Chain A
Amino acid sequence: MDVLKVEHLFQSYGGLSVLADVSFSLKAGERLAIIGPNGAGKTTLFNVLSGFISPVSGRIHLLGTDVTTMSSHKRAALGLARSFQINSLFSQLPLLHNVLLAIQGVQTSRYHMIRPITAYKNNLVKAQELLELVGLWDERKSPVAMLGHGQQRQVEIILALASKPRLLLLDEPSAGLTAAESVNLGRIIQNLTADTTVFFCAHDLDLVFSLAERVVVLYYGQLVAQGTPEQIQVDPKVREIYLGTEQPDA
């Protein structure tokens, strides 16, 4: 069964068409990347998939369920998680509580009102595991706003992963990182998502080609190419989009 199946998705802002007939699917355990120049519609696609924007037309199936008109929190309950291109954290809350909030987001205990959030031992153990993986356990009491940008990027990914999602959407995971930090983050994602289905977009093509098993190319709202990283790297259309056409000698 496909984890994600997108059929004939259209989206426009006013007269501007942002997604035009986008169709693709993701198999369980697959790691799919989407690339394309700025304004290609990647973030819009992520917002449509996670339920923040309703598409003009087309259908989205998540694990066999039609989620096209479903709210974001219900999609999360089905097993969808996402990260954001611009850090989207609970800035004033301690790092640990950020992670605990992410873990309990799909548990019924999120409505419990009497015991402290830190009294849920299983969640605390999970939070410790996640934070130790990125070496931030010692920072657990700091408000996340106090962490550096690179650390906040890692927290961004951790929050998306914390609920053990069936499908993980990563929107520009390495945005704003240095090349070295980006390589490190790629390694972290590789380790943490070994058995998770991942759909991500990135400008950093090194990250794309090291992480993705398959790549689709979005250009002005349309999927113009798809294939393995090797195929995409030599695809003439992709080279044209990224490098421009060769000018005939004058």
Chain B
Amino acid sequence: MKVRKARLFQFGPAGVIALVLLTLPLYADLSIVSLFTKILIFGLLVMSLDLLVGYTGLSAFGHAAFFGIAAYTIAILIKHFGITSFWLAAPAGILMAVFAACIFGLVALRVSGIYFLLITLAMGQLVYGIVHTSVGPLGALTGGSDGLGGVSFPEIMGFSFEAETYYYFTFASFIVCALLLYWITRSPFGYGLQGIRENAIRARALGYNTWLYQYIAFIIGGLFAGIAGMLYVYYNGFISPEGVGIGASGLLWLMLIIGGTGTLWGSLLGSGVILTLQYFVSGFTPERWPLILGVCFVAVIMFYRGGLLPQLINLWNRLMER
């Protein structure tokens, strides 16, 4: 009995959250459903970043690039090549993100620490530079600073998605990807990553090819960021350079830090907090949004170092012990 009670307390909140997410379209209006679709997509994107930052100890600062590469690939295929089949466009977008991660990882993992951060930042800006080019054939392909639109909700096996059903598609994709990431973090491979984060020299002495581990993690990060990019471009119908560059990568870091690094699920919380705040605040004072974002960030760093999720878990446990 005691064990069952403990389990209920442990997983209760997660169950309630899952239930709310599952039934959301039944009672919430469309703008809220749309907000939660975005929260799930960015939650997945930030989780893929957490695998690198929190679990492997790699300060990757160009992570939005993989998100953008998948989104742009799909938009280009649909808009310029007329490839509207979900089963062709979506895998192509994700594969391009993985391919980019394979290449970028080879370059970036030649260095570590702050230099790794700078190289990934530079490579993210490289992708930004490419999609931001407004002239020539490249500009025609990507739409330059105007971005690329005209993507509608996908049609899968004869079923045309709409905002509410696409929310469920996103939700299901999120659950599958999040579970995969969760399994990875507690697998032998995942603990290998954490061992490398804690002490790379000891890991090497024990037989771990630390470079290969980091490289595989980098590619897995690119894969799930690509899946998030795929979900996003179908949801948003539009991708612009702002979704790719340093601003976007910085925002992901913000979500990660506010939610809590190395916690995986904190990423969803960080995404939820930031995007919900943005949703309400930018309705009142769009021009003050960056200021408010800055204040939130400073507040979390000063009072809740380690992120909100560990704080909430502590609070919950203390409440339950009473």
Which residues on A are within 8 Å of B, measured CB to CB?
Answer: 50-52, 71-73, 76-77, 81-82, 84, 88-93, 97, 100-102, 104-106, 109-117, 120, 159, 163
Contacts and interface: CB of A to CB of B under 8 A. Distances in A.
Contacts of A90: 194-195, 198-199, 202
B20 interface: no
B206 A113 contact: no
Contact of B186 (A73, A81, A106, A116): A116
B85 interface: no
Nearest to B209: A73
Instruction: Specify the main secondary structure of chain A where it touches its partner.
Output: loop
A113 B208 contact: no
Given A90-B198, A91-B198, A73 B191 contact: no
Interface of B: 183-184, 186-192, 194-195, 198-199, 201-210
B186 A117 contact: yes
B204 A113 contact: no
Nearest to A106: B207
B195 to A, nearest CB: 5
Given A73-B204, A76-B207, A104-B188, A88 B183 contact: no
B191 A117 contact: yes
A131 B187 CA distance: 21
B103 to A, nearest CB: 22
B187 A117 contact: yes
12 contacts: A51-B204, A52-B201, A84-B205, A88-B202, A89-B198, A91-B199, A101-B195, A101-B206, A105-B206, A111-B192, A163-B206, A163-B207
Nearest to A97: B191
B207 A112 contact: no
Given A88-B202, A89-B199, 7 more contacts: A88-B199, A90-B199, A93-B191, A101-B195, A105-B207, A113-B188, A116-B186
Given A77-B207, A113-B184, A84 B202 contact: yes
B184 A88 contact: no
Nearest to B202: A88
Contacts of A114: 183-184, 187
A8 B118 CA distance: 42
Given A88-B199, A91-B199, A114-B183, A102 B206 contact: yes
A52 B200 CA distance: 12
Contact of B191 (A72, A82, A100): A100
Contacts of B194: 90, 93, 97
A112 B202 contact: no
